[in-house]
Structure 1
Amino acid sequence: MFKIQSSSINTIALAKVVKSTHVHSQSNIFSINDYGAISDGKTDNKQVFLNTWKKACLTNGGMLLIPPGTYLVSGAEFEGPCNGQTNVALNGILKASFDPTLDSITFDHVTNVQIQNINSINSKAFHMNIYESQHVTLNNVGISAPNNSPNTDGIHIAHSNDVRINNAHISTGDDCISIGDGSTNINISGVSCGPGHGLSIGSLGRYQQEKDVSSITISNCTLTNTTNGLRIKTIAPSPPSNAYNITFQHIIMNDVKNPIIIDQHYCPNGNCVQKEESNVLIKGVKFIDVRGSSSTTVAVKIDCSRNKLCQDIELSGLNLTFKGQPTTASCSNAYEKFLGSNQIPSKCS
């Protein structure tokens, strides 16, 4: 729908603001209505948004105000650098073009960004894409798409550092959150996911010279009726890279098909070369206090590469059942440790 990109170390805040009745009198507030926006949901307001953004971007502390109403926007690209902090206050509804080639909400090369209190509904592809960015915080975000909609990842992160996602409600036909290569210092907490494909790291190893993934923490999340829970996936065959220092902790599963899964033979299109192996090294992964229900008897699947055996995989405090009965774990090509005998499952079969 629109793209925000900037090379400056400024702040772009995208938020739904409830009270803004008196802001027109302030010199740093730029309302799209003052620049000719039409809120009929049919008229393309792309140029109006770009003109209003330019005014706000050039003003230190400038705000682009979107009043109540439904505004059609076909692919506006908000470019920086801006002259200081810039804000986007969303009181209305932004309606995307039906053109399937246009991006959804994309943040490219931005620094010090806060996104809060917004909802994304029925995106054509990824709802939000964070790329080549740093110091990005998303708080209280709602995302929804039909459970059979393809490639509608809720939030995708790649080539970015210091990204925080807090208190999100995500229902999609693909990954609720997907973390691609070059992602470091990612902290995800308080996410409600389902339906969808779960919280995923990968796919990794799809391209040459991919950057490592490291320092990922996913905690205090709930997954309901998803096809996967906590997943790391790599393509086989693949060029070499690393994924390490990854922690999943304090997670609740409600009828999840694959609550814990490491899949290094991931083949999304069914045309992968047989008997080839991934060269992505996965190491230093912890699953701590993961509990609830699985929709299958095997709640833990660790299927690693014969070329790069998974190293230092720790599981502790698991309590995963299937129809009230204990689940099992299946592991191959991995150095895994189940810490504590009172967990379910407690070892690999």
Structure 2
Amino acid sequence: MALQKVVNVCLFVLTMAVGTLGSGHHFDVTEYSASPKGSFDSNKMAFLDAWQAMCGFNGNATLIVPTGTFQVAPLIFAGPCKPGQHKLKFLGTLVAPSDWDKEHEAWIEFRELNDIVIEGGGVLDGQGANAWSQKKKNMPISVHFMKVNKGRITNLSIKDSKGFHIAIHQSDNVVIRAITITAPFDSPNTDGIHISGSSHVRITGLTIGTGDDCVSIGPGSYNITVANVHCGPGHGISIGSLGKYQDEDNVAHIKVKNCTIAGTTNGLRIKTWPGSTASEAFNITFENIKLDNVSRPIIIDQDYCPNNQCNPNEPSRVKLYDIIFKHIQGTSNTQDAVTLKCSKLVPCRDVRLIDINLKPLFSSLVHSIDSFCSNVLGLALGIQKPNPCLQH
């Protein structure tokens, strides 16, 4: 009887082990021939083979990239997959080809997926230096979510992207948490995170320092929250640019809160193009923001026209309203601390400044900081430094 019990226990343990290891829950890319010694293309094929196996598994599954450095050519992890949550656990370092610079493409793209998680503590190195010297627009994105529903990116380091580090497009219910994003302060168009055509996106607990916007929120973005982000260097946190293209969708229900912005060329910014087609951006709140050594801490710019790519004589048709800047404090290294430059065709309205406490970075500045307003209606409440220029 005792022997039979021992046999039964052993059979149970063996069955559990087979169920755990043999059921295919985990797909290690090295078991599909990926190797730190592999080429860009051979590792790409191994990663995609592992992905296909995981995607075809019915149930929760994890693709694992173990420790080590893997060079890998551009990847598209495409769905739809079998039901279940699919994770990619990056434990090692992935390196992009340094000489790959095709515009409007992505290095690692997740497309048409439901319930996808990217995590693991690894590093994604975009090898962007060669691309930056070309100074082209729309260089490859490092991580791209396209038509993803219920996605999460957490606990990764993403560096030196050729273009945007992360882009979220036509996606819903996405969380980006505990990510570090870095690139040199002079690397062009290397936004930390860009969002467009997406809803219910939450960005929290990130450290971002690049050569462009830490976070940029583009057309068609709804219900976006940016919280507890440390931004700098870079161009600050931006809504826009908006109005550059025909028939853009509206932007609404945006909240940026509890962030620190340091050493950036802008702080909190809304930017729209002159001569745009009609659209709207509304219900936008910037709250509890600390600014340190920032140029133009608060700015609405409806004459945004970099590199003279527009007709500055045509006013912007993007209607801005219900905009709140609340509990904003810190230091400005420029005289123009608050700039609200709105469209003469569709003036900004219902803009509220609540408890704004900005000081000049250097006490020796000849001129104190000030405010500038044009074509804007709103209200200033509480502490106001510099003196407000809003008209009721």
Give the TM-score of the pair, scaled to structure 2.
Answer: 0.81
CA distance in 1 between counterparts of 2:309 and 2:68 reads: 46
Aligned equivalent of 1:12: none
Classify the secondary structure of the residue corresponding to 1:34: helix
Aligned equivalent of 1:81: 80
Number of residue equivalences: 326
Q: Which has the greater radius of gyration?
A: 2
Note the aligned Cα RMSD (angstroms): 1.5
Match of 1:32 among 29, 32, 36: 29
CA distance in 2 between counterparts of 1:200 and 1:109 reads: 23
CA distance in 2 between counterparts of 1:285 and 1:234 reads: 14
Match of 2:332 among 279, 286, 294: 294
Aligned equivalent of 1:230: 268
On the 8 A contact 1:28/1:62 being kept in 2, the answer is: yes
Aligned equivalent of 2:53: 55
Cα gap change, 1:71 to 1:338, in 2 (>3 Å): same
More divergent stretch after superposition (87-96 vs 43-52) = 43-52
Superposition pairs for residues 105-254 of structure 1, below 5 Å?
105-254=143-292
Cα gap change, 1:24 to 1:91, in 2 (>3 Å): farther
Query: Does 1:100 find its partner at 2:101?
Result: yes
Runs of 4+ in 1 over 6 A off after TM superposition: 23-26
CA distance in 1 between counterparts of 2:356 and 2:172 reads: 33
The one-letter code matched in structure 2 to 1:163 is V
The one-letter code matched in structure 1 to 2:34 is A
CA distance in 2 between counterparts of 1:188 and 1:199 reads: 9
Classify the secondary structure of the residue corresponding to 2:228: strand
CA distance in 2 between counterparts of 1:305 and 1:232 reads: 12
Gaps of 5+ in 1: 1-22
Aligned equivalent of 2:91: 91
CA distance in 2 between counterparts of 1:41 and 1:230 reads: 44
More divergent stretch after superposition (159-168 vs 95-104) = 95-104
CA distance in 2 between counterparts of 1:33 and 1:134 reads: 32
Which is richer in strand?
A: 1
The one-letter code matched in structure 2 to 1:89 is K
The one-letter code matched in structure 1 to 2:45 is Q
CA distance in 2 between counterparts of 1:217 and 1:208 reads: 26
Classify the secondary structure of the residue corresponding to 1:47: helix
CA distance in 2 between counterparts of 1:204 and 1:343 reads: 28
CA distance in 2 between counterparts of 1:314 and 1:61 reads: 47
What CA deviation, in whole Å up to 9, does each residue of 1:179-229 have, x standing for no partner?
000000000100000000010010100111100000000000000110000
How far apart are 1:26 and its partner, in Å? 6.3
Aligned equivalent of 1:9: none
CA distance in 2 between counterparts of 1:195 and 1:73 reads: 29
Aligned equivalent of 1:348: 389
Classify the secondary structure of the residue corresponding to 1:40: coil
Match of 2:374 among 307, 312, 332: 332
CA distance in 1 between counterparts of 2:38 and 2:328 reads: 44
Aligned equivalent of 1:282: 320
Classify the secondary structure of the residue corresponding to 2:308: coil
Percent sequence identity is 43
On the 8 A contact 2:40/2:73 being kept in 1, the answer is: no
Classify the secondary structure of the residue corresponding to 2:52: helix
CA distance in 2 between counterparts of 1:41 and 1:263 reads: 49
On the 8 A contact 2:161/2:190 being kept in 1, the answer is: yes
CA distance in 2 between counterparts of 1:244 and 1:334 reads: 14
Which is richer in helix?
A: 2
Classify the secondary structure of the residue corresponding to 1:48: helix
More divergent stretch after superposition (266-275 vs 253-262) = 266-275
The one-letter code matched in structure 1 to 2:101 is P
Classify the secondary structure of the residue corresponding to 1:109: strand
What CA deviation, in whole Å up to 9, does each residue of 1:60-112 have, x standing for no partner?
11110000011112111001112121000110011112201142210000011
Classify the secondary structure of the residue corresponding to 1:125: coil
How far apart are 1:231 and its partner, in Å? 0.4
Aligned equivalent of 1:314: 352
Cα gap change, 1:85 to 1:224, in 2 (>3 Å): same
The one-letter code matched in structure 2 to 1:121 is K
